[in-house]
Structure 1
Amino acid sequence: MALAACGSESEEPEPQRAVVEAPQPVMTSAPTPIAAADGTPIEPGQWFVTEDAEGARALFGAPRSDGKMILSCAYGASQVRFALESDASEPQSWRLDAGGEAARIDLEPSDGELPQLEAYVDQGLAIINALGASGQTFALTSPDGQRRQFPTHPGIRRVIAACT
């Protein structure tokens, strides 16, 4: 009995634990990065993807703007039109970094109304398809070394698919 008495005296009542319910999961879309992995800020704006009877187009910029960048393709064209807002009047070679690859893109002044540089790029290239990833970024580096970062967007895959 002495043992039983000692044992009951040394036992303390177990503390009450609060029951915490886990929050219910909420489905969200892929986050749009605000900075690239290297800390470089992303160009402000968002992607607007449209399709019509002629093809598909992805415009990056503010709503109802001319866009900082436009990727477009006419149905069956096999080449994506890559247009970048620029006042340059001479052809320029830019570097594109996307999906772990790098490529040179030779851009020329556009004949259109907007001040742009443009190039036509084979839609089958892996680096072009990387622009359609979700939650990533890609970079364009000008000839003078200015780096511009843009978020990737899955809607760009619709533009690429329109080329076929």
Structure 2
Amino acid sequence: MRHSLALASLLAVAVSACVPPPVERAPSARPAPAPAPPPPSAPKPAPLAGDWRDWPLTPGTWTYERDARGTRSMFGTGGSDAHLVLRCDLPERRLFLSRAGQGTSPLTVRTTSATRAVPVRPTGGTPAYVAAEPGARDPLLDAMAFSRGRFVIEQAGAPTLVVPTYAEIGRVIEDCRG
């Protein structure tokens, strides 16, 4: 029996040698936190589909300004750069519809009562804008001012602008008409 007891003790020591000893940690030591996952990339805007009157508005608001050359209404999110500008050159009684960008393809203006493509040309300024010059009495201007809630400016290669119809638009038009 002694031999069995010695063999059992030896076997118990051998089995316990296979298990690693517990790691002792100081009470305040904690495992390092897992690295935070990278932030998700900004989702690309979904292509606009369906009726344009249901498309979400482009972020921004209209402002109205008067300066030495005339008046202007600007649509944007603030600062000096605007997405869209309607300017009246008072001495010449000329209106300019400008959008940020460099593309020279025509602007397509969609309102609830009219849709028309208007040619543009670069303005030569910094930042880059392209401008159309409708006549001060062009019915497209009235269609923009009185469109039901919004109108759309589309141009190949540029983001579509869905802008609200605020009073600033009509104010610039009336300034130029005298």
TM range (shorter): 0.5 to 0.7
Query: Which one of 142, 146, 149 corresponds to residue 129 of structure 1?
Result: 142
Residues 84-122 of structure 1, C-alpha deviations (whole Å, 9 max, x = no match): 01133xx21121112410111111122112211111111
* Cα RMSD after superposing both structures: 2.3
Q: For residue 153 of structure 2, what is the amino acid of its counterpart?
A: L
User: What residue number does 2:176 align with?
Assistant: 163
Q: For residue 102 of structure 1, what is the amino acid of its counterpart?
A: T
Structure 1 unpaired stretches of 5+: 1-35
| Superposed counterparts of 1:45-124, under 5 Å | 45-88=60-103, 91-124=104-137
CA separation of 1:79 and 1:112: change in aligned 2, threshold 3 A:
same
Indicate if the aligned counterparts of 1:133 and 1:154 stay in contact, CA closer than 8 A: no
Indicate if the aligned counterparts of 1:75 and 1:163 stay in contact, CA closer than 8 A: yes
Query: What is the deviation of 1:146?
Result: 5.7
Query: What is the deviation of 1:135?
Result: 5.9
Instruction: Indicate the SS of the match to 1:163.
Output: helix
User: What residue number does 1:150 align with?
Assistant: 163
More helix by share: 2
Query: What is the deviation of 1:61?
Result: 0.5
Residues 30-85 of structure 1, C-alpha deviations (whole Å, 9 max, x = no match): xxxxxx86321111000001123431100100122310011101115333111101
CA separation of 1:96 and 1:37: change in aligned 2, threshold 3 A:
closer
Normalised TM-score (structure 1): 0.68
Structure 2 unpaired stretches of 5+: 1-50
Identity %: 21
More strand by share: 1
Greater relative CO (CA pairs within 8 A, separation 6+): 1
Residues in 1 aligned to 2:69 and 2:160: alpha-carbon distance in whole angstroms: 32
Q: For residue 112 of structure 1, what is the amino acid of its counterpart?
A: G
Residues in 1 aligned to 2:158 and 2:82: alpha-carbon distance in whole angstroms: 22
User: What residue number does 2:23 align with?
Assistant: none
Q: Indicate the structure (1 or 2) with the bigger Cα radius of gyration.
A: 2
Residues in 2 aligned to 1:40 and 1:52: alpha-carbon distance in whole angstroms: 34
